[in-house]
Chain A
Amino acid sequence: MLICLIRTVILYMLLICVIRLMGKRQLGEMEPSEFVVALLISDLASVPMQDLGIPLLYGVIPILTVLGLELLLSILTFHSIFLRKLFCGKPVILIEKGKILPDRLRETRITPDELTEQLREKGVVDLTTVRYAILETNGQISVLVDPAAQPVTAKHCGIDTTPLELPVTLISCGKVMKENLKLSGRSEQWLQDLLKHEQCTTRDILLLTVEPSGTLYLIKSRETT
């Protein structure tokens, strides 16, 4: 059992090193340590699950060890910049002021094709409009477009807009969300009056939301004739 724990610690550290050395492009949307945990947990659980000859503890101990190590690592990286750089790496600038930095591409092993593909995915076609393209520690590329090439916004035009506020769901799948009703400053009586006006019961409603402005959005489960 102790061997199991020691092996888990060694493999966990080894996998983090390997993932870090493989570079950010392998990661997807996770930090290296998160990626390692995702990689390990499923396998650790499946082995004792399938093989009845292996005690359950052979799965439980490594999973709890990985959990403990992941928590410890995330706490340490939160408090120490050095450890954060060591385990998570640091963002790498790939494009600066419209110019691709070939050394950085070589260093991160990202081909120009992959870079342009990522830019296209973000709606950028003209490379010269990119102020910065940054390869983040989770493998994603953030693109900061030159302000001159950004779409015109209401702010640019000096148009006053009302601040965006979230609509509140009052009825979902025929169930009244009483907390939300209170949150929106409406009473149950108000809801009953509304239902009376719509000639339906709560059960007939699939979704009812109300915006802070008072606009209602109502969808019935079935259209009544």
Chain B
Amino acid sequence: MKQLTFCLLLLASLLLFCIGAMTYVTDGILMTEQHLLTALEQYDRGRYLEAQTSVEAAAACWNRYESAFCMLLRHSEIDHAGEEFSKLLAYVSSDDQDDFRSSGASLLSDLAHIREMEQPTLSNIF
């Protein structure tokens, strides 16, 4: 009975940990995505300064979660998103509109990809 309890506890805690990790990653990325979407909207309306603030907020949000993400996600995905953030911050301050939009869209799609990769869907499992 002790052994059964132990292994059921082990499996249950693993499951809980994984669900917790998935929720944490999803929340962190959704929050970053939200800031980015706001930044892109503001940029489209010509509110560049506000857009810059939103991009910085997105980057800060990403940085806050990054160290935890390094333990939970493949490093290549995090590094790639990090590079995109650096580019975006450079473009928003240089008023390079086309590059900002394309870089922003690319970063959004990267973040969405990371978030979707964590979802326990059939396509991800198989």
Contacts and interface: CB of A to CB of B under 8 A. Distances in A.
Interface in A1-52: 1-7, 10, 52
A56 B75 CA distance: 11
Contacts of B22: 1-2
Contact of B118 (A1, A52, A67, A72): A1
B94 interface: no
Contact of B14 (A3, A10, A52, A61): A61
B103 to A, nearest CB: 23
A47 to B, nearest CB: 12
A71 B18 contact: no
B10 A64 contact: yes
A69 B8 CA distance: 9
Nearest to A65: B14
Contacts of B76: 53
Interface in B89-126: 117-118, 120, 124-125
B10 A55 contact: no
Interface residues of B, number: 27
A68 interface: yes
Nearest to B18: A2
Nearest to B19: A2
Contact of A55 (B3, B19, B73, B125): B73
A68 B73 contact: no
A55 B7 contact: no
A75 interface: yes
A10 B118 CA distance: 17
B3 A3 contact: no
A219 B2 CA distance: 46
Contact of A72 (B7, B15, B19, B71): B7
A61 B72 CA distance: 11
Q: Which of A7, A69, A72 lies at the interface centre, i.e. has the most chain B CB atoms within 10 A of its CB?
A: A72
Contacts of A86: none
A54 interface: yes
Given A1-B118, A3-B125, A53-B74, A61 B10 contact: no
B71 A55 contact: yes
A153 B7 CA distance: 47
B8 to A, nearest CB: 7
A71 B74 contact: no
A15 B118 CA distance: 24
B70 interface: yes
Interface in B3-17: 3-4, 6-8, 10-11, 14-15, 17
A194 interface: no
A57 interface: yes
B61 interface: no
B57 interface: no
Given A1-B118, A5-B18, A56-B71, 8 more contacts: A1-B72, A3-B118, A3-B125, A5-B14, A55-B71, A55-B73, A61-B18, A71-B6
Q: Which 6 A-B pairs have the closest CB atoms?
A: A71-B7, A2-B18, A68-B11, A1-B21, A53-B75, A68-B10
